[in-house]
Structure 1
């Protein structure tokens, strides 16, 4: 699940907890009560715990819900500050940022992030280059390169952004014909 999806679940939980119910959260977030319920169920499933105790009297936070609410309020406050438009009096980002990335990362993750970044920073122009196959040298016209794996380069700062899970799949007919691989060479 992507970070923005998780943030949406946490925001829905936080609003329901603070406002005291799914209906009030739905009204404030301008979504249906069923959507609030689905999001909270998804968050409970992801965390493996009940966040609300439901009874005929109403809905109250469980001990896990109370603990999560304390953490969530701080996290969402920081997230909202980071994603808010810059103050008129504060420094504004301007100019062009040249970004290069593999097409799988660019199409799947980067384009939505860059779209949101550009909405927040309208004076920034983004020049995005999506590549196929491995790139071993940072192009001189590139400010940021997002890459799979290590990037042996002496003139760049390298920061790990996260892990990307990969898996190899094969059809039943292929495996019955060629067998199961026992080593990477197979």
Structure 2
């Protein structure tokens, strides 16, 4: 009894929530489905379902097993598609995690263009600025902006992201234009709470961190658009990527300051598990984003 058949049966039972419906979907008997589940539980030495007379529920071990089973079955399907050349067309469902502001401002257009080019690929997009666990949370790929630490994941650069320290004309008129990071007023700092471009070699970053330790920043938020809009009202200064602040800078609503001290550009990466066979749908998705945004993205041109 091969394990793939056991895992496939288990996945269908878990998704259908019923041995009977699973048997109907697999075009087999209830007895064989029950036999396969019992054999898998025996091999794993754990109970996968809690059974009552009316319903079945996954145990905690069953929930973990389902995540692994779905990854294994999807990888096998991808392998068959690629190595057997069963289809030259990308297809299937991609689970994608991406930063909030970048997605609302720029990813929507890219996704629309991608799905026009690849209509058989569906996307489940989850927006979150925190560092998610790609494997444990079941994502095929995560888009991350910043300086990545070493990990067991594969990271492919999508595009470069410039940073800008900004303040409104009204703020600069009232408090003056700083010529050095030491001239910044720490109580006016509008701080992004998920910052991921710390560079200890940067005089500006060092000053911002030192100031934040001495004085509570005027506003701390986990959304760069909110901070940028507050800065436009003359309430302080903010360090933000140009994909957020670029429009306000071009309109003169914000002015870039201390440009000689701003850290070098960071990058937007596509991060995915190295242990998983990269599927055709994921490969074309990453390649499409690289071509769409290019190394110098449109908002910096």
Q: Normalising by the residue count of structure 2, what TM-score does the alignment of the two structures yield?
A: 0.28
Higher relative contact order (CA 8 A, sep 6+): 2
The structure having more radius of gyration, on CA atoms, is 2
Query: Greater strand percent: which structure?
Result: 2
Q: Normalising by the residue count of structure 1, what TM-score does the alignment of the two structures yield?
A: 0.44
